[in-house]
Amino acid sequence: MPETPLRIGLIQCGHVHPDLVPTLGDYPELFADLLGPHGIDLTTFDVDHGRFPDDLSRFDGWVITGSANSAYEDLPWIHQTEDLLRTLVADEAPMVAVCFGHQLLAQALGGQVARSPDGWGAGVHRYEFTGAPLPWMDPAPAGEVRIIASHQDQVVALPQDAVVIARTAHCPIAAYTIGSSVFAIQPHPEFTAALSQGLVERRRERIGPEVSDAALASLGEPLDRDLVAGWMARFLRHARP
């Protein structure tokens, strides 16, 4: 028997490049494509435009998206989102935080976010998940997991009680958990190769030609999007206070 769909609030912290949205979608469409097949129903709250949830009890869990902003920017909506994340963590609400979400959550709880000393991470990166597979990692990772990266900021100091579960040479804190209710991950499992290509081409001057060329060359590699989507859905479904 199919499992009951989960009601998940999508905390949208930013937007995909406007050139790409008409054909490839913005964060609500990307996460719906990723998680919808796993029984996840999303309701979007566009927090960078001031749209916040007013009843947290309506939702079974939360997903926090990426953003072109930096977590340490002094913007009212960022501070308000940090307050929201602290409330959700205190309530032990199931949460998956991605890229900017992964960074903002760490910062909100006392960790630190900074620019990577190695510059941009872009294209397909291979992530090593450390330690024994967690119960929601089913199937378990077989070696490295290939996911698209798109960031120049990253978590450089963890908040209290956070445990690193994935890393790369470029990003030593690539994923972490907090208790049984938080799973945070730096790369973008919702990104497709086509979207990554479009972003890298539009950011070539910012990223630099060498990293851009390497990123574009990597996009022919198979991705483990479906594997990680299954992990995210199982985490949200089975995380409990």
What is the per-residue DSSP string for 35-104? HGGGTEEEEEEEGGGT---S-GGG-SEEEE---SS-TTS--HHHHHHHHHHHHHHHTT--EEEETHHHHH
Q: Decide if domain 6-238 falls under CATH 3.40.50.880.
A: yes
**Residue pair 112/103 in contact by the 8 Å Cβ criterion:** no
pTM of the full predicted structure? 0.96
Nearest to 31 by CA among 7, 58, 65, 3: 65
Domain locations along the chain: 6-238
Angle between the N-to-C axes of helices 27-35 and 225-238, in degrees from 0 to 180, rounded to the nearest 10 = 80
pLDDT digits (tens, 9 = 90+) for 177-236: 999 999 999 999 999 999 999 999 999 999 999 999 999 999 999 999 999 999 999 999
pLDDT digits (tens, 9 = 90+) for 66-85: 999 999 999 999 999 999 99
